Structure 1
Amino acid sequence: MNGAALCHTLRRAMRLKDAQALVDRCFAGVPEGAARLYEPGDPRFADRPSAVWLEYRWYVHERGLAEIFLKWGRVPPEQSPDTEASVLRVHLIGDSSGLVARARGLIEGGTPAPERILGLFGDDGVGRDCVSFGPTSVTVEQWVRSGPRELLEAERFQSLSQVLAEPDSTPEERHEAVQRLSAEHSERVVAALLGLLQERSSIMALRVLSEWGVVEAREPLRRALAALDPENTADLWALTALDRRLEAWDFMIRGRSPPPVT
């Protein structure tokens, strides 16, 4: 039985527990590569400045991840299960037709709806299927671009790499340089981003490398977490989520590796 056949169709707004149960059914039997990140259950994030609670999960299969993202109002934690889920989103990263099929089960029976992100930022190149169940938005995002990617011109690559290496560059300049470099998914860009992380932390670089499954980024990420002010709960959440994503990649890679010779 495929993932879609396991899924239950809902035609009304979903409470959090409904959305969680739907994910459970659609991804039944698929291993999770890292522990779930359920914000109300972690006291470190009790004071995170936000109007919403969040939950992340990371399912792994073949050469891909399905990163599940749930959002609902920041009610007292004990009220969360019966609170309406405002967003259920799946980020499909890497390559797994099985995860694609499972994720598509989440949107069966929903009403086609415009993706809110497109209304804010325009077309960012990510493939999206978005439906609604009442006010609950459910989106499947595919973060894989088909076909070869063009290399940046040598002069352009050197210019952007220099921004990362320049000690006096600002965080904003480095952020923009990382964004522009990430248009080219290549070994030289990976090396440039890892080189940046050896000198200073960059959430943008960590985000890109975690999307690409570069598990070598986990060491500098862990250093950034260790150096972080515990009061900075916004960055603590972001870095913890990226660390779990890299943990899931590592789980997947180790699962594909041949057993050691004894």
Structure 2
Amino acid sequence: MKEQKAWALNGFIGSLLTAALIGGGVALLIQESFIPGIILLAAAAVLVSGVTVVQPNQAAVVTFFGRYVGTIREGGFWLTVPLSVRTNVSLRVRNFNSVKLKVNDVEGNPIEIAAVVVFRVVDSAKATFDVDKYEQFVEIQSETALRHVATKYPYDVYTEAGYSLRGNSEEIALELSRELQERLSVAGVEVLEARLTHLAYSTEIASAMLQRQQATAIISARSKIVEGAVGMVQLAIAQLEQDGVIQLDEERKAAMINNLLVAIVSDRSANPIINTGSLY
């Protein structure tokens, strides 16, 4: 199915035509011309059946004895195909908030995830005839797409390579929007935006994963500290040797490196011991 424009005449002009037919029929009946009068009144009754009102941002899908004849998108008072059935379809932008879904990420960790989908109908014929209750179709397909995207990525990554659900929310939202659009195009629905509204580990593993995150953060911080400390020690020794302040053999250089690293890397403040020489 593909949406097409239905025949529609301004409703006020249609009302004038109907009034003219009714007036002519009544006049003929008064003149005892019964058959022509009855025909005009019947035509007026048939014409009245085509009068419809379309609200703003709504579409009227017109079917004539089971055949789709078109859609009226313009709001207002219209006269369309007589004896037809009009089904109203909303064209407004709407939100769908999914429930919290419990799924496993790519690493098998159970997580809770939810999303909001902003959509609107762009093809009223597909929304009416190609799917059964397109609102429910949007809900089910949105949850299915969300599950599929969630199972493709880990909740979090502990290296700089790769995407994660928590660390790449923009990229995940774009992929979710693309997949939803592929799924919902059959229903004549355009996806305007899709974003995650809830993301967390499931309660049964939340505490364990929190400890893992804390340990990972500590290890990462320690690695940065050690990297910086090594650089500082190298610069200090190179500067001392360059300025000729002191000449160090390998043993003394190793001892100085050890002392500097301990002082820089240690969690506690350094307590230096000053060698003042012998008292005697």
Using structure 1 for the length normalisation, give the TM-score: 0.23
State which structure, 1 or 2, has the greater radius of gyration over its C-alpha atoms.
2
Of structures 1 and 2, the one scoring higher in RCO (CA 8 A, sep 6+) is: 1
Using structure 2 for the length normalisation, give the TM-score: 0.22
